[in-house]
Amino acid sequence: MIHYLSLRDVAAKTNLAVNTVKGYARKGLLPEHDATIGTHRGWTDATIEQWMLDRGMTKKLPETTISEGT
């Protein structure tokens, strides 16, 4: 089963605000969506990852905790 990212998912993946991603979509700055589900557009992980690479964006890194040795 293919999983499609919503605008909110794209925002989370790219570490951008939802309103920024919505603005990109309105201006045609996001890649062509891979699917339409009802009235919602969806993108695959691969599509968004390639778009991020093309824009010089790095993937969102997982949060880590650094502890100092005592």
Quick check: 21 pLDDT over 70?
yes
Domain residues of the chain, as ranges?
Answer: 1-70
Instruction: Inform me whether the pLDDT recorded for 27 exceeds 70.
Output: yes
Q: What is the CA radius of gyration of the chain?
A: 15
Averaged over 10-22, what is the pLDDT?
96
Confidence of residue 14 (pLDDT cuts 50, 70, 90): very high
pTM over 0.75: yes
Is the domain 1-70 a CATH 1.10.1660.10 member?
Answer: yes
**What is the C-alpha separation between 25 and 8, in angstroms, rounded?**
12
Identify the band that residue 28 occupies on the pLDDT scale cut at 50, 70 and 90: very high
Mean pLDDT in residue range 14-42: 96
